[in-house]
Chain A
Amino acid sequence: EAGVAQSPRYKIIEKRQSVAFWCNPISGHATLYWYQQILGQGPKLLIQFQNNGVVDDSQLPKDRFSAERLKGVDSTLKIQPAKLEDSAVYLCASSLNQGNTEAFFGQGTRLTVV
């Protein structure tokens, strides 16, 4: 089966610029997650969607980060304006539902803010 698709793979921007990442989950997966993985650390959850609704965005820095999943399939994560400390890999993951199912990760978007 096709995996979680993310684009772009790499992005370099200057601080204060805006950037958007795109994720296409595995077909039929209702739950979608965005994680931030800073170099040398484990992934940290930013936001979780169940279909097109937000389940948890308590760790999303809402002053600059936003995410949406309008039709309950693809999702976009936006940063506006970016800061140097936003440099990280942004991982999208999906699972069949919220219950006892495995989360599959995409390859991530590596963001460098200069």
Chain B
Amino acid sequence: GENVEQHPSTLSVQEGDSAVIKCTYSDSASNYFPWYKQELGKRPQLIIDIRSNVGEKKDQRIAVTLNKTAKHFSLHITETQPEDSAVYFCAASKGSARQLTFGSGTQLTVLP
């Protein structure tokens, strides 16, 4: 089955700096890659997603890039703010079932 690896497990940045989280996947048939943000004790919430027919997608301060050949995708957050502090999960799925395989998560801390 699919295996998703995520790095780093923890990341601390100064407010205003950029943060990058990287994920690799094993199944070349995977075609949908969402990113979820989970604040402590709260539900995971989708922040951005990308499909395999696109190499990059941007939404304000958040962008995701996908390299299908290398089977990796990354989340980029620019101009970080303290409210960006949370655990971020990448995930991958294939086909129409949308069964997500999640990475292990990255605890992002934005220092004021």
Contact = CB atoms under 8 A, between A and B. Distances in A.
Whether A associates with B in a native complex is yes
A41 B43 contact: no
B65 interface: no
A55 B46 contact: no
Contact of B45 (A41, A99, A105): A105
Contacts of B104: 40-42
A36 B100 CA distance: 12
Interface residue SS majority, chain B: strand
Interface residue SS majority, chain A: loop
Contact of A55 (B51, B91, B97, B105): B97
Contacts of A41: 104-105
Contact of A105 (B43, B51, B98, B103): B43
A100 B42 CA distance: 24
Chain A interface size band reads 20 to 34
A45 interface: yes
B46 A102 contact: yes
Contacts of B103: 42
A44 to B, nearest CB: 7
Interface string B90-112: 01000011111111110000000
A107 interface: yes
A100 B54 CA distance: 14
B95 to A, nearest CB: 8
A98 interface: yes
B44 interface: yes
A45 B105 contact: no
Given A40-B105, A41-B105, A42-B91, A103 B100 contact: yes
A56 B99 contact: yes
Given A91-B43, A103-B98, A105-B43, 12 more contacts: A3-B43, A31-B98, A42-B103, A43-B89, A44-B102, A45-B99, A48-B97, A48-B99, A99-B98, A105-B36, A107-B42, A107-B43
Interface of B: 4, 6, 32, 34, 36, 42-46, 49, 51, 89, 91, 96-105
